[in-house]
Every structure is written in C-alpha cells, then in structure tokens.
Amino acid sequence: MTIRYLDRPDLDLVGWDNCVGTSTQRLFYGFSWYLDALTTGPRAPYWGGIVAESGGKYVAVMPVVYRKKWGIRYVYQPDYCQQLGIFSQQGLALQPVLPQFWAQLTRQFKWVLSYRFNEKNEEELFFPDGFSVLKRENHLLPLDKPYKALFEVYATDRKINLNRARNTGWCVEERPDVRALIQLHRQYNEEKAVGGIKLDLTIYDRFANACDELYRRGLARIWLARKPDSETAEAGGLFVLDRDRIVYLFNGASVVGRKQQARLWLIDRLIEEFAGTALAFDFESPAVGAESVKAYYQSFGAEAKPYSEIAYNHLPKWLTYARTLVRGFLTRRKATD
C-alpha cells in the first residue's frame, strides 16, 4: 500500500469519488465535486488529499482544505463542511496506517488551524504528541421507528410549538435554487450566526454553487415555508439526503417564521416522511458555542455523536515571532491612520 499527499490537480478524481462513495464513512462533504465548488472563486481556499492506494485503486482518502498566508499553507475547516476525516473501504483497518497519514499531513502542513474528523472515525483514531485534540458533538436522530414513537420523544415544548405551527397553516414550496434561502438567512439570521466575526461574503457564492451540485445529483431538498395567502417565504431549510442520513445543512427564518415555528414545522414534516426507515436525521450541530441550539436539537430526542477536531502549530519559533511582530505593526499602523 502506498500512502502519499496529492494536490487537487494530481488526484484521480474518479478514483477519489468512488472511494468516498463506497466508504463506510460516506459523507457528501468528502466528494471532489463538493470540495471543488467550495474552493473555486475569488479568495477561495485550496484542497488536496492524502490517499492510500492499493492495486491501482484508492482504498482510503483524507481531504485537506487549506489557505495560504505569509507564504505559509495552513489547514482549516471550511464553512458548510462540518466533518471530513478519513474515508476508507470496508475491511481496511485504519489504526495500522494512521502513522503514515500523520506523517504525510505534518510533512505537507506545518500549521493546522482546525481539522475535523468524521464521527465514524472515532473508534479507530489516535493522535501523536504535538496534536491538540478537542472533542465535538453532533446530534443525530435515528428514524427507524414509526412517526408516532418518534413524536412521543419530543420535549413538551417541541410538541406545544409544533401544534401552534400546524395551526398556522404553513405551506411548503420546493425550490431548485438555494439563493432565495441564502438571502432570507442573510437578512434575518446572519448577524447572530457569525457573532460579530467579519465574514468573507464570497463564501455564499461558493456555497450556492455547492448546493447546485447537490441538487443536480438529486441529493438536495430546498424547502421554503409561506402562509397560504402570501407569496413571501418566511422560513426555509436545505436538507441533504445521502446514503444513510438527512443533513440539515442550512436554514433561515424571518421574525414571523421564527415566532410561528416554521422551521420546526419543516423539520417535523421531513421526520414524518422518513419515519420507519434506516435513515438518521443529522442536525449538523454547531461545532463551537450555541449551546442553546444543541439543546434544541436534543429536544427532538437526538443522540449526541462525538467527533474529533485537531490543531497544531509546528512552524519555526522565529517565524511565529516574526508573524506576531508584523501583525502588531499593522494593527498599530491601522489605528493611527
């Protein structure tokens, strides 16, 4: 088995997507077409991957998204890509090959700001000294029971609010384009979602292109909720239906939509549709903060699923010191301009 790092132009993309698609950890975030969409355009990042090849086929791949700053390549976790990690073929034990994956990662990238593995990697992961490891939680609701049984587990508040939403008489409209939903989110939810952080607005164009790719492949449902007597969308959600899960990837709601529980109504409608199947509803819980959001997802009866996030800084100390000096100089200069 050969394990090496390759930048995007050097990858066998057919082999890559076959590996991700048939892997035991399959998630749409790992497909080349999704990563391409998120890394194409102004101020876009780059991506490549660590590949394990055997018999001329990729048997395990690990996508890596990175940026360049101060002449340094650094790894980070992009928006709308909650989990990456290793995608491997059934029967391939990861533990024996992990040291070679870490060797490739640390050889190519001296700085990892953030990298998240998928929850199915958890049982086999171990990390070398020098890696900072944080445990994150996602929330999944198995849909393998009848809807009545799933509804019974909802918290009392969810049941009360859902009855109110049903009495509102929401109508659902399915769209082929996510851009109206993005605009709804930007108008009503963006400020709270970013928490004062300066946002690179070009991410929305890349995300919209990624959603176009999802929709073309029959993986996306883009739902908008409106009142029966209105053409104005008050809430919406983007749901990705992949092999074993429905991912709640993106949403937005106006003041009216929030108060009258339109998003809750949309989520419940999808849960009811797929109740009794082998799918799980993936709430895609925020990795950092937003404890109230996580508690809200748990109130549906969702189970916490841990996954690992790593970081390290192996840059030479003199370079780190120089970067700090330059950043300080630029900050002082900006303050006096």
What is the predicted pLDDT for the residue at 291? 83
Burial of 298 (0-12, 13-18, 19+ CB in 10 A): middle
Residue 213: pLDDT over 70: yes
Contact of 71 with 324, CB cutoff 8 Å: no
Same domain, 79 and 160: no
Query: Mean pLDDT in the chain?
Result: 93
pTM: 0.93
Amino acid at 86: I
Amino acid at 82: Q
218: alpha, beta or left? (left if phi > 0; alpha if psi -120 to 50): left
Same domain, 175 and 92: no
pLDDT digits (tens, 9 = 90+) for 241-253: 999 999 999 999 9
Q: How far is Cα 128 from Cα 278, in angstroms, rounded to an integer?
A: 36
Q: How far is Cα 331 from Cα 17, in angstroms, rounded to an integer?
A: 44
Same domain, 278 and 143: yes
Same domain, 50 and 176: no
pLDDT digits (tens, 9 = 90+) for 101-141: 999 999 999 999 999 999 999 999 999 999 999 999 999 99
Crossing angle (nearest 10°) for helices 262-274 and 156-168: 100
Same domain, 302 and 318: no
The three-class DSSP label of residue 89 is coil
What is the predicted pLDDT for the residue at 333? 42
Provide mean pLDDT across the span 310-320. 84
Number of domains in the chain: 2
Same domain, 173 and 107: no
Q: How far is Cα 150 from Cα 203, in angstroms, rounded to an integer?
A: 36
Same domain, 65 and 168: no
φ and ψ at residue 269, rounded to 5 degrees: -60, -40
Residue 5, Cα to own-chain centre: how many angstroms? 23
Q: How far is Cα 329 from Cα 325, in angstroms, rounded to an integer?
A: 6
Same domain, 327 and 230: no
Residue 330: pLDDT over 50: no
pLDDT digits (tens, 9 = 90+) for 68-78: 988 899 999 99
Same domain, 51 and 146: no
Contacts of 99 (CB under 8 A, 6+ apart): 128
Residue ranges of alpha helices (H) inside the chain are 13-21, 32-38, 98-108, 147-153, 156-168, 179-188, 190-194, 202-216, 255-259, 262-274, 291-298, 317-336
Q: How far is Cα 143 from Cα 278, in angstroms, rounded to an integer?
A: 6
CATH number for the domain harbouring residue 234: 3.40.630.30
Residue with tokens 């002449």: 71
Under the banding of pLDDT at 50, 70 and 90, the label for residue 336 is very low
Furthest C-alpha separation in the chain: 65
Same domain, 171 and 202: yes
Same domain, 28 and 150: no
Nearest to 112 by CA among 77, 142, 86: 77
Q: In the chain, what percentage of residues exceed pLDDT 70?
A: 93
Q: How far is Cα 26 from Cα 250, in angstroms, rounded to an integer?
A: 20
Q: How far is Cα 312 from Cα 69, in angstroms, rounded to an integer?
A: 16
Under the banding of pLDDT at 50, 70 and 90, the label for residue 199 is confident
Residue with tokens 């076959």: 18
Same domain, 148 and 261: yes
CATH number for the domain harbouring residue 117: 3.40.630
Give residue 122's domain range: 2-130+314-336
Under the banding of pLDDT at 50, 70 and 90, the label for residue 10 is very high
